[in-house]
Amino acid sequence: MIWADVQRALEQRRQAQYTDMVRDLPVLIDESVQAVHTSAGEEQRLSYECLAEAFRCVFTVAWKLGFLDLATVALDRLAWTAPRADEPGLAALHAFLRAQTTLSSGRYDVGLRVVDRALRDLDGQESRRPAGVEAMRGMLHLRAATIAGRMKDRDHADARLAEARALAQATGELPDFGVTWGPVNVGVHAVAIASEADDFGRAIELAENVRIPRGWTRSRAGHHWMDLGRAHAWAGHPDRALDCLHQARRIAPQQTRYHPTVRETVLALKRRERARNGSLAQYAEWVGI
């Protein structure tokens, strides 16, 4: 029962249904903790896995809503829980999220070291979910590419994207460990990374080749439209930028409303508007600007 509830929470996370997820998480964590202390053997191991996945959900919503202190606590809990679940994919997930935190602190060198160590640690390890481990391997390469993009190191970012793209072509779409892995996500990341590197024209060009399938993960699809909106804003295409932001809102409203990329883009559009744009004003009011 707990496992099914955890999978539902992970799906809520993927679909950016944070209100429902946050409502369920406290009980889910309590039940997982109780199961850890009242079980043994494989049942206990699985209980630790449930607890780790729950902390992963806490990290996501705390990070996206700007509660970085709570996100750090959740990450620490995941670091403690993952080894007890005896699942290499969860250790890789912790490294993936830890590297994410370096994007806000500017410790990009640390982030790359965390990713590379996690990739080495995956080599030769046996997993109950080998396909999921391949998904995490690919996601780690994408995290390194994102960090390299933030560093404006295009060659490094392109090399990491090439690694991820080759792996995605071999695996196809593999949603596991709460991540969205596959060729589509590699394409979405390529757009975001070009935008991170301030190569906005390239980001817009790359987006022409991205085809998001029906029913794809709403959190990732919404993030794509946010990143593309930012690229259009800085490329001097305010109407296209606002259209992208409206798409992000339609797909993942809870994520979009509070995301810093959206606020940054809206502020940039407001600073540059020459005449009052009613649609932009309404959007700015919706995000609280």
Please give the structure tokens belonging to residue 35.
């199961």
Query: Which pair of structure tokens corresponds to residue 144?
Result: 């390194």
Closest CA to 189 of 149, 153, 229: 149
> Looking at 86, 107, 142, which one is the last position of a domain?
86
Same domain for 71 and 156, yes or no, is no
Confidence bin at 289 (pLDDT 50/70/90) = confident
Residue 177 pLDDT level (bands cut at 50, 70, 90): confident
Angle in degrees, CA 209, 210, 213, rounded to 5: 135
Model confidence pLDDT, tens digit, residues 52-70: 999 999 999 999 888 889 9
pLDDT value at residue 57 = 95
Residue numbers of the domain that contains 267: 216-289
Going by pLDDT thresholds of 50, 70 and 90, the confidence category of residue 178 is confident
Q: Are residues 76 and 94 in the same domain?
A: no
> Does residue 53 sit in the same domain as residue 98?
no
What CATH number does the domain containing 147 carry?
Answer: 1.25.40
Q: How confident is the model at residue 154, as a pLDDT?
A: 92
Secondary structure, 3-state, the chain: CHHHHHHHHHHHHHCCCHHHHHHHHHHHHHHHHHHHHHCCHHHHHHHHHHHHHHHHHHHHHHHHCCCHHHHHHHHHHHHHHHHHHCCHHHHHHHHHHHHHHHHHHCCHHHHHHHHHHHHHHHCCCCCCCHHHHHHHHHHHHHHHHHHHHHCCCHHHHHHHHHHHHHHHHHHCCCCCCCCCCCHHHHHHHHHHHHHHCCCHHHHHHHHCCCCCCCCCCHHHHHHHHHHHHHHHHHCCCHHHHHHHHHHHHHHCHHHHHHCHHHHHHHHHHHHHCCCCCHHHHHHHHHHCC
pLDDT tens readout for residues 12-39: 999 999 999 999 999 999 999 999 999 9
Model pLDDT for residues 186-236, shown as the tens digit of each residue: 999 999 999 988 899 999 999 999 999 988 999 999 999 999 999 999 999
Distance CA 13, CA 55 (A): 12
Q: How far apart are the first and last CA of the chain?
A: 43
pLDDT digits (tens, 9 = 90+) for 117-136: 999 999 888 788 888 889 99
Whether residue 226 contacts residue 195, with contact meaning beta carbons closer than 8 Å, is answered with: no
Beta-carbon contacts of 253 under 8 Å, excluding residues fewer than 6 positions away, are 16
Domain end position, chosen among 86, 117, 147: 86
pLDDT at 1 over 80: no
* pLDDT of 79 strictly over 90: yes
Q: Mean of the per-residue pLDDT values for the chain?
A: 93
Q: Phi, psi at residue 174, to the nearest 5°?
A: -135, 85
Residue-level pLDDT at 206: 97
Mean pLDDT, residues 144-163:
95
Answer whether residue 175 shows pLDDT above 80: no
pLDDT of residue 124: 80
pLDDT at 116 over 90: yes
Residues 207 and 118 in one domain: yes
Residues 233 and 188 in one domain: no
Q: Which of 100, 132, 133 is nearest to 114 (CA)?
A: 100
Residues 6+ apart with CB under 8 A from 80: none
| 64 shares its domain with 156 | no
Number of domains in the chain: 3
In this structure, are 93 and 80 located in the same domain? no
Asked if residues 102 and 110 have their Cβ atoms less than 8 Å apart, the reply is yes
| Tokens found for residue 200 | 């906005």
From 90-104, 134-148, 178-192, 267-281, the region with the lowest mean pLDDT: 267-281
What is the mean pLDDT of the segment spanning 99-103? Answer: 93
